[in-house]
Every structure is written in C-alpha cells, then in structure tokens.
C-alpha cells in the first residue's frame, strides 16, 4: 500500500512540474512570479521589446509592455519615450481621447522630454478631429460634455501659452463654443485671442467672431436691441480697422441685417403707439425709420402709415 501511495505522489509531482516551470520565486517581493510578467533587465531592453510590438502593429501587446516599462523604470529616460509611444499606439487604434490623455501625461510628468512640441502638435490635431465631428471608438471613458475639443484646445493653450499653436487653438476653442451656441463663453475665449495675441493673424478674425456672438445673442426669441447695437458697433469697428479683409464683406452683411432688425423693431413700436392712438409718438418712430433706414423696406411701409395717419388727422380737423 505504501508503495502505491509513493508512486502516486511521484506521478502527481511530475504532472505539476511543467506548471511550476512558468513561475519563479523572487526574494525581493517574496512572491512567486510568472517570468512572462517581469520586465527586461534594464529600461533600454524593455523599451526595445515594447517597440518591437508597436512596429509590428501588435498594439495591445505594445501597450502592455510600455506600461510595464513605466511601472518598472518610471524615472528612466526611456519612460518618457514609452509614455509617448503609448499615445501613438492609442492613436493608431483610433482611440483619440485616450491618445490625448497619454500625450498629456508626457507633458505633465516628463516636461523635459524632447517630444513636448510634437506632443502639443498631436494634441492640437486630435482636437481638430473632434471639432470636425470625429467620434470615439472605445467605451469605458467618460468624455467631457458637448465636445472633447473644448478640453483639448484649452490644454494646448495651457501647455504652450505663447507657443506657435496657442493663438489658433485659442481661436478654435471659441469657434467650438460658438458652434454649441454657448455665445457668452465663446466671446470670452475670442477676447483672449485679442488680448493675449494682438499681433497674431487670428486677432482680427477673433474681433469679427466677437461681433458675431453679439449678433447671435440679439437674435433670440425676443429681439435684444442692446446686444444688436453692440454687435453693429463691433462690426463697424471691424470694417473700419480691416477694410480689405475678406471677413469685412460678411461684417457689412451683418450690419445690414442688424439695421433691418432695428428698422423692424422701430416699426413695431410705431404701430403700438398708433393702435393706442398716440399718433405723435407713432409719427416720431415712422419718421425715424424714413430718415435713418431709407434703404430698408420698412421705410416704405413707414411712409405709407405716416400718410394714412396724416389723412385721418386732416379728417378730424
């Protein structure tokens, strides 16, 4: 019986031998570790190993090995490069927001990396893709409200306040907010372009957009005469400062549109007074339309109403 038990134990131990061959005891951690999960002996070897997967488009394996590099050798020169390649890998997989997050870690954790300017450029291009309507392909990460381009353009400006991409990133941040009908926030961002980068080619365009935001606010459910006046003033200022700019044509169209709205608003006020039989007050508004908005169709209608009022007045004399 003892011989049988001994034989079974030997067979059992031999059957376990292959499994134990995948594990080794590490005195440092005091644990059994699968060699497959261990990093290479130095950061250069680990980086080269991870990059070999990247070069062969085995992106999930590459990410695993780059993360292993970052965990095992966080202060090595290769760590910054490994973090950069994590971003590249996410981008290759179409995971744009995750790529942006990986790139941002390079800036936050490795500010002396030689890749910083390239990283900022990559972040800017990702923001442009989101601005153009690019959708993320991976699940599991909560994206910023409305559009990730808002966060990313903001980071590009923050990462390089006076760098070459800062003025255009600031301007496009305003455009994204404007496209989402967040006019007050958009106007604030456009104002930053003008104040921070007055000599930039985007400063003039930002002035136009500020006026455009004011105009959009005046077109709400209730006509906002104050916002319309501010918009008109800003458009007129833009045309005066940049008479030859392409946007000046649009500015002049906006001025005409606002004047049309002003004439219509004054005509409605005149009609209100006319219905209340306050003919003198109505006449003041009709004459103002005829004198100051002669190019508007409302001037013709104002003249017609004024004639009708004068005839009625003559009959009552």
Per-residue model confidence as pLDDT tens digits over 62-105:
999 999 999 999 999 999 999 999 999 999 999 999 999 999 99
Number of neighbouring beta carbons within 10 Å of residue 58: 14
This prediction has a pTM of 0.74
Taking phi over 0 as left and psi of -120 to 50 as alpha, with beta for the rest, 283 belongs to alpha
295: exposed, middle or buried (C-beta count within 10 Å: 0-12, 13-18, 19+)? exposed
Predicted pLDDT of residue 291? 86
Helix (H, G, I), strand (E, B) or coil at 86: helix
Query: Regarding predicted confidence, which is higher, 39 or 209?
Result: 209
How far CA 34 is from CA of 52, 62, 73, 164, in Å, comes to: 21, 19, 19, 48
Q: Return the top range by mean pLDDT from 38-42, 55-59, 252-256.
A: 55-59
- At residue 244, what are phi and psi to the nearest 5 degrees? -95, 0
What's the average model confidence in pLDDT over 142-164? 86
Distance CA(12)–CA(168), nearest Å, equals: 70
Distance CA(85)–CA(48), nearest Å, equals: 12
Predicted pLDDT of residue 61? 96
What's the average model confidence in pLDDT over 253-276? 82
Query: Model confidence at 268, in pLDDT bands (50, 70, 90)?
Result: confident
Distance CA(8)–CA(14), nearest Å, equals: 10
CA angle (94 as vertex; 90, 96 as ends), nearest 5 = 70
């Amino acid at each position: 019986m003892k011989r049988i038990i001994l034989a079974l134990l030997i067979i059992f131990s031999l059957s376990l031998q292959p499994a134990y061959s995948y594990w080794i005891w590490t005195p440092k951690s005091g644990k059994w570790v699968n060699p497959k999960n261990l990093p290479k002996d130095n950061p250069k070897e680990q980086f080269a190993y991870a990059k070999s997967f990247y070069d062969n488009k085995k992106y999930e394996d590459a990410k695993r090995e780059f993360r292993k590099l970052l965990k095992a050798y966080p202060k090595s020169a290769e760590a910054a490069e490994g973090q950069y390649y994590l971003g590249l890998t996410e981008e290759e997989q179409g995971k744009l927001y995750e790529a942006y997050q990986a790139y941002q870690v390079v800036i936050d954790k490795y500010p002396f990396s030689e890749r910083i300017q390239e990283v900022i450029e990559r972040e800017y291009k990702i923001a442009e893709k989101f601005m153009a309507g690019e959708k993320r392909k991976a699940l599991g990460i909560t994206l910023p409200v409305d559009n990730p381009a808002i966060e990313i353009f903001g980071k590009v400006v923050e990462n390089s306040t006076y760098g070459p991409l800062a003025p255009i990133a600031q301007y496009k941040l305003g455009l994204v907010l404007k496209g989402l009908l967040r006019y007050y926030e958009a106007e604030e961002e456009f104002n930053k372009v003008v104040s921070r980068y007055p000599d930039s080619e985007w400063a003039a365009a930002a002035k136009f957009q500020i006026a455009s935001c004011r105009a959009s606010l005046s077109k709400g459910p209730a006509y906002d005469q104050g916002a319309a006046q501010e918009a008109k003033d800003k458009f007129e200022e833009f045309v005066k400062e940049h008479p030859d700019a392409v946007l000046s044509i649009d500015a002049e169209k906006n001025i005409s549109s606002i004047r049309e709205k002003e004439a219509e608003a004054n005509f409605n006020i005149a009609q209100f007074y006319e219905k209340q039989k306050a003919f003198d007050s109505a006449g003041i508004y009709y004459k103002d339309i005829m004198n100051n908005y002669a190019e508007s169709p409302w001037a013709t209608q104002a003249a017609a109403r004024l004639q009708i009022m004068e005839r009625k007045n003559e009959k009552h004399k």
